[in-house]
Amino acid sequence: MCRRAVLTTLTEDNINAVKTFLMDLQDRICQRLEAFEPEIRFHEDAWKRETGGMGRTRVIAGGSVIEKGGVNFSHVKGDKLPPSATADRPELAGGRFEAMGVSLVIHPNNPYVPTSHANVRLFVVQKDGMEPVWWFGGGFDLTPYYGNEADCIQWHQTAFEALAPFGEAYYDRFKKWCDDYFHLKHRGEPRGIGGLFFDDFNELSFDESFAMMQAVGNAYMDAYEPIVAARKDTPYGERERDFQLHRRGRYVEFNLVFDRGTHFGLQSGAGRTESILMSMPPEVKWAYGYAPEAGSEEARLLDYYLQDRDWLGRQAQ
């Protein structure tokens, strides 16, 4: 368990530095994703709330590579923490909060290109009689429909290298946290092949914790871009598309049933419903009792890839 850090000198400069990085990160990610598209670009919906807060929702759809994607920045404030944020920290109930972050989901057209998700964020709580409490969170994870071992290794190697300057133990810890978090308990299966996930992080200094969050945010496109480039032109047909749509159903189930970010956004009233549900795929299928044919490539996704695997062989070290 990480200790609950306090920062008695938390200033607007601290918060503005994080906000500046996050807005720049959003810009850079959108630019690199748009490079895959010959014609379409992100549409921006900038918004403000009278009660405090603003955001830039950016959505791209109908591309030759990206069927639907969203890269959102939000900075929201509230007078009272919602239940999803105080379940593990009841001492903060009733506190005023400030949250900012970049959150994104990319759903490609080609079933051989995985869906990807990433987010990085800062949370600050102030309550009368207490010093300000802050923590960082974030990570990125990959949801393939047709597994590729080289892609999985490259994805996790990039994650490992992003965290290595802060201590090698962080990759192992955040990789396991990701495997545990992105797990559909009612299905008994992982959502994808994992990556990194951390939350409530403040065991380093504010500057070091911020630097680690930056490293994770910057590593996302370094991990995802080569996979998209390598798989986007792979031929596919109706069978692959049908399997992709059924597997997207698992993505929807996780986001609505388990995702803390979705729950926080809807419960807090500080976010915007359209932005919160931006992560949903444009098309999806559910069929009663659906299961891939035994021995097929579709079955191999579940039997081999979706197994919380040690892709870097670090357990043997």
Q: What is the percent of the chain where pLDDT is above 90?
A: 65
pLDDT confidence band for 78 (50 / 70 / 90):
confident
pLDDT confidence band for 166 (50 / 70 / 90):
very high
Q: Helix, strand or coil for residue 93? A: coil
121 among annotated binding-site residues? yes
74 among annotated binding-site residues? no
Residue/partner pairs of 262-268 with CB below 8 Å, 24 or more apart = 263/82, 263/84, 264/82, 264/84, 264/85, 264/99, 267/82, 267/83, 267/84, 268/76, 268/78, 268/81, 268/82, 268/84, 268/85, 268/97
pTM: 0.89
Q: What are phi and psi of 221, to 5 degrees?
A: -70, -30
183 among annotated binding-site residues? no
User: What confidence score (pLDDT) does residue 198 get?
Assistant: 96
Question: Annotated catalytic residue: which of 43, 75, 117, 263?
Answer: 117
Asked if residue 8 has pLDDT above 50, the reply is no
Query: Does residue 75 have an active-site annotation?
Result: no
263 among annotated binding-site residues? no
Chain center to CA of 107: 13
156 among annotated binding-site residues? yes
- For the chain, domains (ranges, CATH) are 12-305 (3.40.1500.10)
Q: Can you tell me the mean pLDDT for 250-257?
A: 85
User: What confidence score (pLDDT) does residue 1 get?
Assistant: 37
User: What Å distances lie between residue 61 and 56, 104, 108, 137, 276, CA to CA?
Assistant: 16, 14, 10, 28, 17
